[in-house]
Structures are given as C-alpha cells and as structure tokens.
Amino acid sequence: MEKYGGTSVGSVERIQAVARNVAEGVKQGDSLVVVVSAMSGETNRLVDLAKSLANRPSRREMDMLISTGEQVTIALLSLALEDLGIPARSFTGFQVPIQTDSVHGRARITSIEGDAIVSALDSGKVAVVAGFQGVSVDNDITTLGRGGSDTTAVALAVALKADECRIFTDVDGVYTADPRVVEEARRIPRITYEEMLELSGSGAKVMQIRAVEFASKYGVPLRVLSSFEPGEGTLITREENIMEQPMISGITSVDNEAKVTVRGVPDRPGIAYSILGPISDAHINVDMIVQNVSSEETTDLTFTINQDDLDSAMDLLAPVVRELEAETVVGDRNLAKISVVGVGMRSHAGIATTMFRALADKGINIQMISTSEIKISVTIDREYSELALRALHSAFRLEESAKKGG
C-alpha cells in the first residue's frame, strides 16, 4: 500500500516520478495498491468555481465536484504507469467500493469490499485508487474531509491486510522538531502510534490524526517517506516493535491558537458547562482547558481555541459572563503552545521538571500547563516560541536520541 499526496502528483513531471517509484516496487515483486490525492491546486480551483456560483454550496454537490480531482489523478497515474509498461487499473471510490456514511464533506468509512482490487492485483496490475472519496448507501459520492486520502490508504491497508502502508509526502519523515526552526532536529526512525497522535494533535503536520488512529486500531504499520528523495522515512508502529525507546520523541509548537480566560467565576457545579457549552454549540473547537483550584469563592477558567474563532467566542461569552455574575472575560491572541511528546514519560520521572527548568533558564514564562499520559503542553508568549523549541530540543538531547533510536 502506497499513498501519494497532492504535491507528489502536482504536475505531469511529478506524476511520472511517482510512476517510476511505483515501477521500482513492482520490479521488486510487490503487489501494489497506490492511493493518490488530487493534483495540488486542483481542489482549490474547483472550490473557487463553486464559490463563484453559490454562497452556501450544498455539501452533496461539493463532494460531486471536488471528487473529480482524485479521479483525474488516478487516470493520469495509470496512464503514466502503462506508458512504463506497468499494467495498471484505476478505481474511484464507488468502484472499489469504499462505503461511507452520508455525511457529505466529512464522511466516515463504514466498510471496504476488497474483491475488485484483489482481482486487479491477481491479474498482475497495480491498483490505483482515488483517495478522499467514497460512496454512500444512496449511491452518492462522498468525501472524507481533511487528510481523507491518508485515511483511505490506511483503511485499504486494513481491508487488504497489507504488510505496510507507506505515506509519501514532501518531507522525508517525522522529525524531533520542525527542522526549519531547530537546526539539530533529527528524523525519528521509529515512533509509536500514540506519540504520532500526540505530535499530530500538537502541531506536527506530517499525518492526519484520523489516519493514525485508524492504523493504531488495526495495528497497520505506517511509514512516512519523501516522494522526492530516497530514504527509510519514519515507521509508525506499536510500542512493542520499538526496541530502544527514547524518553521524548518530539517537540511541537502551535502558533495559531488564542486563549480565553473567564475570571472571577462563582465556584459552583456546572460552571465549565455554562461557559464551554455555547462555544461548542457554535462548532468552535476547544483545545486546552485549565481551571485552577479556587482558594476563594471564585475561580478562573481558561481555554484555548483557534485564533480565527476568538472574536465569535468573545461575543458568545459576553452574555454568559453577565448571567454567571463572573468578573470579566479576556482574550489573548499572543500565545504559542509548546508540547513535548514521548511514551517514555510513563516510566521516567522528571520530564516535566526538565521541561520547566529549560524554559526558566531562558527566562520564558509559562502561562498554562496541561498534561496527558505521554504529553506535556504549555502556553507561552508567542515571541518565545522558536527559542523554547530549540531550548527543549537541546534539554532532552533529541539530536542524539533520534540517532540512537534507529
């Protein structure tokens, strides 16, 4: 199973490069299923066409429209493969079929019938499958939402019991930190599903959470590789498959969050719900939530959201604050969230201490702290974001651990 994203198939030349890559695998005797995205830019072109025609385009018709992007790519890649003498057969979502529910724009896969693909493989063909799309029980074309092509690849790998699901992208693996910020950042040879989930959820853009969850649930080994350079990439697998586990796998930062603090809230049951209910009803995603233990009769509740949602959230909370007789509500766009992730936290004490000391040494003030079993996140002033990443990368010696972990 191989999956190529939009930039990997973004031009005729890149489609030819992918075809040569696939041909290599075929010559080594692999039975290959290849999942592809729309050529980069194509989905945006189609969305712009739709926006010029309708203010609130129906989701069904949007799926009908944008699913053509992947259909074009599967045909072109099949043609490129056949031109190299590699027999190929393209499959849209309905031809596999990839059955989904009927939630257009963010459908969930309900089942995959693998027979048609197996039959193509058995006849010596490469199966080229459109990512991101499926078909509902009503025979409607659906799309899976952001990162849908990764999900398609993993779901197909599960259905077809593939040995490995290789995700080809524009980076050559998962890094200990963003290499554009931290020069010493290293590619991680192996990482657990759990760590990958926390890294993805904390700002690493390599893989979509949904696909990793899916792979984790069914134990499909994932490998993130570059479509442009050779290399081993990063293997995402179960913890027991990783011999020597570093304490910390990686460090991430998120710069597009804002924080909302409701101060002086009377401390009684139901307060969190009163405040966060209206936010959730408005489909605003809340990330971190921190409520301090109150010493007086009031408490402060702070949460983070995407900064694009800050204005709406402030508007929504104004009447709530009055009703609750809270003191005030304040918003702040000027923050970054920094997370350290590693399953080693489970068995090693002192990770938090190391983290907090490293930040203190650089004079960086911590605003909020939130922890999970294998992650510690803090928010800080945004201008310290890059400094914090580098300080933590060095404090946890990630430039060494990644080398060792292979």
Binding site for a second copy (CB under 8 A): 12, 15-16, 46, 49-50, 52-55, 57-58, 60-62, 64-65, 67-68, 71-72, 74-76, 78-80, 82-83, 88-90, 92, 94-95, 116, 139-141
Q: How far is the CB of 95 from a second copy (least distance, A)?
A: 5
Q: How far is the CB of 67 from a second copy (least distance, A)?
A: 8
Among candidates 200, 216, 194, 212, which has minimal Cα distance to 254?
A: 200
Q: How far is the CB of 61 from a second copy (least distance, A)?
A: 5
Residues 226, 170: contact at Cβ < 8 Å? yes
Q: How far is the CB of 137 from a second copy (least distance, A)?
A: 13
Q: Compare residues 67 and 149 and give the one whose CB is closer to a second copy.
A: 67
Among candidates 342, 345, 337, 332, which has minimal Cα distance to 385?
A: 337
Q: Compare residues 78 and 302 and give the one whose CB is closer to a second copy.
A: 78
Q: Compare residues 18 and 242 and give the one whose CB is closer to a second copy.
A: 18
Q: How far is the CB of 140 from a second copy (least distance, A)?
A: 8
Q: How far is the CB of 274 from a second copy (least distance, A)?
A: 38
Q: Compare residues 84 and 330 and give the one whose CB is closer to a second copy.
A: 84
Which residue's entry shows tokens 């489970």? Answer: 346
Burial (0-12, 13-18, 19+ Cβ within 10 Å), 129: buried
DSSP secondary structure string for all residues of 182-211: -TT--B-SEEEHHHHHHHHHTT--SS-HHH
Q: How far is the CB of 14 from a second copy (least distance, A)?
A: 11
Phi, psi of 352 (to 5 degrees): -60, -40
Q: Compare residues 97 and 179 and give the one whose CB is closer to a second copy.
A: 97
CA–CA distance, 355 with 377 (Å, rounded to integer): 10
Q: Compare residues 57 and 344 and give the one whose CB is closer to a second copy.
A: 57
CA–CA distance, 222 with 31 (Å, rounded to integer): 17
Q: Compare residues 65 and 326 and give the one whose CB is closer to a second copy.
A: 65
Burial (0-12, 13-18, 19+ Cβ within 10 Å), 190: buried
Alpha-carbon 223 to chain mean position? 14
Among candidates 378, 377, 354, 351, which has minimal Cα distance to 366?
A: 378
